[in-house]
Structure 1
Amino acid sequence: MGKFVNSIEEFYKYCEENEVEFVDFRFTDIKGAWHHISYRLHAVSAEMLEAGLPFDGSSIDAWQPIDKSDMILKPDVPTAFLDPFTADSTIIVICDVYDIYKGQMYEKCPRSIAKRSLEYLAEADIGDVAYFGPENEFFIFDDVKFRDDVNSAYFRVDTEEGQWSSDTAYENGNMGHRPGTKGGYFPVMPTDSMVDLRAEMMLIMEEVGLEVMLGHHEVAQGQGEIGIKFGTLVEAADNVQKYKYVVKMVAHLNGKTATFMPKPLLGDNGSGMHVHQSIWKDGKNLFATMGEYGNLSKTALDYLSGIFKHAHALAALTNPSTNSYKRLIPGFEAPSILTYSSQNRSASCRIPYGASEPAVRIETRFPDSTACPYLAFSALLMAGIDGIKAGGYHMVGPMDIDLFELSLDEIREKKIPQMPHTLRESVEALIADNDFLKPVFTQEFITTYQHYQFQRQIWPDEARPTAYEFMSTYSC
């Protein structure tokens, strides 16, 4: 697994060996969505791979104005891999974005921000590598419908695994085997109906260079997860983009639809993106002190304290959708309480069991997959670095009890901080608390991002009446 090419020379050799017809250049926008432009291979010169290729930056949300729209895609050739889904042999190359007006990597390009965060880690003389291991959960449905009009709004998702399908008349009969609400963790077939689908995803993930370890049904109906190996910060974010692409495409080609929405089902568990993290220097894991609580070093605790200190602002980048906060509510294994615990999945930060020093790490459990991975990982790293540089902030913990059993009154009584409850809260926190990001995230990016969130998510969501509001207030 891993890289298929390491140089431009190897790139052309690999293309020849695989009879490549097209080169698909991809980059990531501020939301975390992939965009692409395809070139015929014969039109892609070595000079283009070195210097980059032009594109219109004004047509990408929250990027350039029309009068300064010319930008450059800078291909990162070692990221190249064959697209497993195209009819004609196509090689994908992940790109950074270059700003010709300022003569630098574009300050709103998430991948460029991620690269700068690693540079800052080294400049701060804290570490020389940061490892990130995201765990992306997803739902697979048979059908999805939604409408958003002046006088009507609704959504409906469907899966044969749904408990609501128990009396559905299917062409070949209703077999009756379903996980039920919160019943989907590890049942075998036929209750787990997605075994073959996940297997296909896992095999194709390996084709595109991901090192796959496991796959399983998750707690909710129609929910799954595939585990891949961790990587360096930028590599891990690249891998999330590849992972999501494969999951969506395999589902699509099998007549299904996959989503990484945190909370598409009422009353069942949501999907997260737990993020494992550690910092290393000179080949040594700086997060490990064997024999301490969770084998965590002071550096690790200081790093974690920075994440908790800035958690409300971080949430604007790690949980950047209004739907994110429908997952972070009590009762559905929601990691919303800001404390840490060893091997305890009810805390917002779990310290996974690690029998050896290299395995010691922290796992933040509140992020979700609506996050742009480059921005989320960079923000977590910057908050952690701030905690290390400050010598540690006050935080509550460790707490080894089942935090899901605590009432709201008990949480308040124990003065345990919580994640924000809405996207508005998190974005307003980002406006008030962003100095920790500024060595890497520019003020222009932060301003653009918060305006984008208000205009595209917060205000539109707050303006819309919902079906539940009709139920609760129509007859008042």
Structure 2
Amino acid sequence: MATKDDVLNQIESEDVDFLRLQFTDILGTVKNVSIPASQAKKAFHEGIYFDGSSIEGFVRIQESDMRLEPDPDTFAVLPWRSRREDDTVTARLICDVINTSTGEPFEGDPRFVLKRALARANEMGFEMNAGPEPEFFVFENDEDGRATTQTHDAGGYFDLAPKDSAQEIRADIIYTLQAMGFEVEASHHEVARGQHEIDFKYADGLTTADNIATFRSVVRAVAELHGVHATFMPKPISGINGSGMHTHISLFEGGENAFHDDDDEFNLSDTAYQFLGGILEHAPALTAICNPTVNSYKRLVPGYEAPIYVAWSDVNRSALVRKPAARIPAASRIELRSPDPSCNPYLALAVMLHAGLDGIENDLQAPNPVRENIYEFTEADREERGINTLPSTLGQAVTALKEDDVILNALGPHVSEKFLQAKTQEYTEFLASVSQWELDRYLETF
């Protein structure tokens, strides 16, 4: 682990000029305060104060003073900010948010919500590992530099150039991520036109959440340098696949994978089945956090490879949870396939973990795996097997969240209240809006 002195020495050795102190709001948007590198020592020893009343879901104006406390382990030079003609070098530090009135971590800080979940797992003897598979689209900009929905290429799954004309962009993203300490495992063109995936190595829960936030910033920044727009909007174009963020999860206990059992048909332990049972039990409420936008539910529909059925399997991808093949015991894990990359990674991993731990604590039993293609089942088939569906709208997901005390407690009273307020307002505004589809369908008909 890096220390404050390690970072101060690195700032000096790399001639860093500016530091971006980053944090996220409740909706997962990365925010930052920029300071001269000469203020780094002060930032570490005293923190940097900011007005929390201006941040989505934080605090009211009368309780607005917040303090940023940098995490030394997150120091990284921003390569795309350090290629400027003036040779200015900019680095970043991800921060925890402190409530100045109490000196304690701010309960509305999403990073603290995840830390609290990880602490609960530690108390039970577990450490969480997670590995995401974030997808994104690359679109052309118009002559005014604004994003369009014209895809940057016409490639398909695993295509090569010339169909996949974004190879250079993906390579530049990978070089940037590697310069920031990522271990990138694979990248490829995804199924839809203009859609891509870059996978980086799994890590502990907190590092993974930090990496997801960093990954989204890197992708968009590098795309901008190439004169195009990258988006993590789940379903920007109707009629083609949307973007997901399948998330692989495992628990370790005493250095051993707590999800692995050599003697089980699927090499899953009792702990893994209990964790899986918790994920399936709380799936409707998880959806509000892991699929947090109105647009998320345009992806979660049949026919586009997105999981909508609350079931698990080892052989098909129509189920909500998949058990991937593992060559070695340490690689045994489950893959939750519903999350999309618009989610707040800290909150998403926190609620996944709490749901699974609830399954362990209450000995929830996972149902039998469904090895057939659920997309081909009739409604009667699904009812017979007890297979439910995920919420089909943000409104339904919000209702499910309101009714799930385990997931509400995972978020804590502050975050749950502010999140529900924001998402209720978002869905209400959506219901009152008039879409282009409605105009095309009805304007000249009635």
Output the TM-score relative to the length of structure 1. 0.89
Asked if the contact 2:139–2:148 (Cα under 8 Å) also holds between the matched residues in 1, the reply is: no
Partner of 2:67: 72
Partner of 2:12: 16
Partner of 1:208: 180
Structure 1 residues 233 and 15, CA gap change in structure 2 (3 angstroms): same
Amino acid at match of 2:419: Y
Partner of 1:307: 279
Alpha-carbon distance between aligned partners in 2 of 1:93 and 1:350, rounded to the nearest angstrom: 35
SS class of match (1:213): strand
Structure 2 residue 439 is matched with structure 1 residue 470: yes
Structure 1 residues 283 and 405, CA gap change in structure 2 (3 angstroms): same
Structure 1 residues 358 and 160, CA gap change in structure 2 (3 angstroms): closer
Asked if the contact 1:386–1:436 (Cα under 8 Å) also holds between the matched residues in 2, the reply is: no
Match of 2:396 among 380, 404, 425: 425
Alpha-carbon distance between aligned partners in 2 of 1:316 and 1:226, rounded to the nearest angstrom: 25
Amino acid at match of 1:377: L
SS class of match (1:142): strand
Match of 1:50 among 45, 65, 68: 45
Asked if the contact 2:125–2:254 (Cα under 8 Å) also holds between the matched residues in 1, the reply is: no
Amino acid at match of 2:149: V
SS class of match (2:339): coil
Partner of 2:212: 240
Q: How do residues 77-476 of structure 1 correspond to structure 2 at under 5 angstroms?
A: 77-86=72-81, 87=84, 88-123=88-123, 125-127=124-126, 129-143=127-141, 157-161=149-153, 178-179=154-155, 184-393=156-365, 395-438=366-409, 440-455=410-425, 457-474=426-443, 475-476=445-446
Amino acid at match of 1:63: F
Alpha-carbon distance between aligned partners in 2 of 1:436 and 1:68, rounded to the nearest angstrom: 26
Alpha-carbon distance between aligned partners in 1 of 2:117 and 2:59, rounded to the nearest angstrom: 23
Amino acid at match of 2:11: C
Amino acid at match of 1:255: G
Amino acid at match of 1:30: I
How far is 1:437 from its partner? Answer: 4.4
Alpha-carbon distance between aligned partners in 2 of 1:156 and 1:206, rounded to the nearest angstrom: 29
Structure 1 residues 376 and 197, CA gap change in structure 2 (3 angstroms): same
Alpha-carbon distance between aligned partners in 2 of 1:44 and 1:190, rounded to the nearest angstrom: 46
Asked if the contact 2:22–2:31 (Cα under 8 Å) also holds between the matched residues in 1, the reply is: yes
SS class of match (2:197): strand
Asked if the contact 2:183–2:201 (Cα under 8 Å) also holds between the matched residues in 1, the reply is: yes
Alpha-carbon distance between aligned partners in 2 of 1:90 and 1:23, rounded to the nearest angstrom: 6
Asked if the contact 2:188–2:196 (Cα under 8 Å) also holds between the matched residues in 1, the reply is: yes
Amino acid at match of 1:11: V
Asked if the contact 1:22–1:40 (Cα under 8 Å) also holds between the matched residues in 2, the reply is: yes
How far is 1:293 from its partner? Answer: 3.1
SS class of match (1:73): strand
How far is 1:17 from its partner? Answer: 1.4
Alpha-carbon distance between aligned partners in 2 of 1:25 and 1:421, rounded to the nearest angstrom: 37
Structure 1 residues 468 and 411, CA gap change in structure 2 (3 angstroms): farther
Amino acid at match of 1:357: P
How far is 1:145 from its partner? Answer: 10
Alpha-carbon distance between aligned partners in 2 of 1:389 and 1:51, rounded to the nearest angstrom: 40
Alpha-carbon distance between aligned partners in 1 of 2:288 and 2:142, rounded to the nearest angstrom: 27
| Alignment coverage as a number of residue pairs | 438
Partner of 1:35: 31
Alpha-carbon distance between aligned partners in 2 of 1:318 and 1:260, rounded to the nearest angstrom: 13
How far is 1:144 from its partner? Answer: 6.6
Asked if the contact 1:131–1:278 (Cα under 8 Å) also holds between the matched residues in 2, the reply is: yes
Q: Kindly report the root-mean-square deviation, in angstroms, between the aligned alpha carbons of the 2 structures.
A: 1.8
- Identity, in percent, stands at 37
Amino acid at match of 2:427: I
Asked if the contact 1:145–1:156 (Cα under 8 Å) also holds between the matched residues in 2, the reply is: no
Asked if the contact 1:114–1:377 (Cα under 8 Å) also holds between the matched residues in 2, the reply is: yes
Stretches of 4+ aligned residues off by more than 6 angstroms: none
SS class of match (2:49): strand
- How big is each residue's C-alpha offset from its partner over 1:88-146, in whole Å with a ceiling of 9 and x where there is no partner? 111100001011234321111000111111111122x241x100101100000113799
Alpha-carbon distance between aligned partners in 2 of 1:156 and 1:212, rounded to the nearest angstrom: 29
How far is 1:249 from its partner? Answer: 0.8
Asked if the contact 1:73–1:97 (Cα under 8 Å) also holds between the matched residues in 2, the reply is: yes
Amino acid at match of 2:60: P
How far is 1:281 from its partner? Answer: 1.0
SS class of match (1:293): coil
SS class of match (2:220): helix
How far is 1:24 from its partner? Answer: 1.1
Amino acid at match of 1:465: V
Asked if the contact 2:27–2:419 (Cα under 8 Å) also holds between the matched residues in 1, the reply is: no
- How big is each residue's C-alpha offset from its partner over 1:274-295, in whole Å with a ceiling of 9 and x where there is no partner? 0100011110111011241321
SS class of match (2:309): coil
Structure 1 residues 388 and 419, CA gap change in structure 2 (3 angstroms): same
Structure 1 residues 469 and 411, CA gap change in structure 2 (3 angstroms): farther
Alpha-carbon distance between aligned partners in 2 of 1:39 and 1:197, rounded to the nearest angstrom: 30
SS class of match (1:443): helix
